[in-house]
Amino acid sequence: MKKWVAKNLKHYIMILPFFFFFAMFFLYPILKGLNTSFYKWDGINPAEFVGLNNYVSIVKSSDFVKSFTNLLKYVSITVPVGITVALLLALFVNRLKGFWATFFRSAYFIPTMIPLFLAASIWRWMYAPEVGLLNTIIGWFGADSINWLKDPKVMIFSLIVVDVWRAAGFNMVILLAGLKNIPEDYYDAARVDGANKFQEVIYITLPLLEPVLFFSITYGFISALQVFDAPWLLTISNYEYYGGRMKALLFPVMDMMGRAFGNLQFGKASAYGFLLTILIVAVSATLFVFRKKE
């Protein structure tokens, strides 16, 4: 035992700072938040233990139902559309060589690098009634102006467009790296057998790209379930008013933030956060189980 300690102690001492800060800034906040979720606390007065009442109150609230309904619609559209667009862009760029490959790869990645507040400002201008770029183009064809950020029927689709525009470049780079790792010999053999481009994609590209696609899809789901900043900025939300007209862009993280810093309901906000965490873990686990079966 003494020999083992003498041999390995120095290694554990070297990684001790990481575990110290990991526990301080990651584990402790999680455990503190879990503990807070069982209390009624406004951040000022002493906390009052209420057990599971915070969880029950959250689940029964109309905003909870509305936020998760919006989230379900948003995730079910933005993830498959975003991955499909990124894959098409990656396939396109992968066929290019030299200057044009670099040019389009950089051009498609630029939206990912733009600060979100600036991207939201750009899209708010593009979505502006009457004078916005999109409504101006629509007007050329004699159609009526669309209130992209005020009409509850189209607001979530306006958000999806912005999200896909921003995320496609990032996913494209990830998928493009996967495409570069597929040996060209497979395509040469397929062409000898008479396969066309579509068959090459279906029977060679997609199966060999599956690990990278799985990463992109899983990351896309986790990110989409935590959507907050884009709808918050597009609707010019604050802690007292958020979610836009008729709360068409209300999402769980926004509702959680509003309860915490708008209404000083830190116990309910913590409970909300753990309900969302359970959902994210459940979705991630389901994806891994499905992939393992496949």
Closest CA to 96 of 85, 108, 84: 108
**44-79 pLDDT, tens per residue?**
888 888 888 999 999 998 889 999 999 999 999 999
* The two structure tokens encoding residue 111: 């939206």
Q: What is the pLDDT of residues 237-264, one digit of tens each?
A: 888 888 888 899 999 999 999 888 888 8
Q: How many CA atoms lie within 13 A of 124 on its CB side?
A: 13
pLDDT of res. 232 = 92
* Alpha carbon distances (Å) from 56 to 39, 64, 212, 265: 13, 11, 39, 14
Q: Taking the domain 61-293, which CATH number applies?
A: 1.10.3720.10
DSSP states of 132-170: SHHHHHHHHTTPPP--TTT-TTTHHHHHHHHHHHHHHHH
Q: What is the mean pLDDT of residues 102-126?
A: 89
Mean residue pLDDT across the chain: 88
Q: How do residues 80-101 score in pLDDT, each as one tens digit?
A: 999 999 999 999 998 888 888 8
Is residue 294 over pLDDT 70? Answer: no
What are the start and end residues of each CATH 1.10.3720.10 domain in the chain?
A: 61-293
- Predicted TM-score (pTM) of the model is 0.87
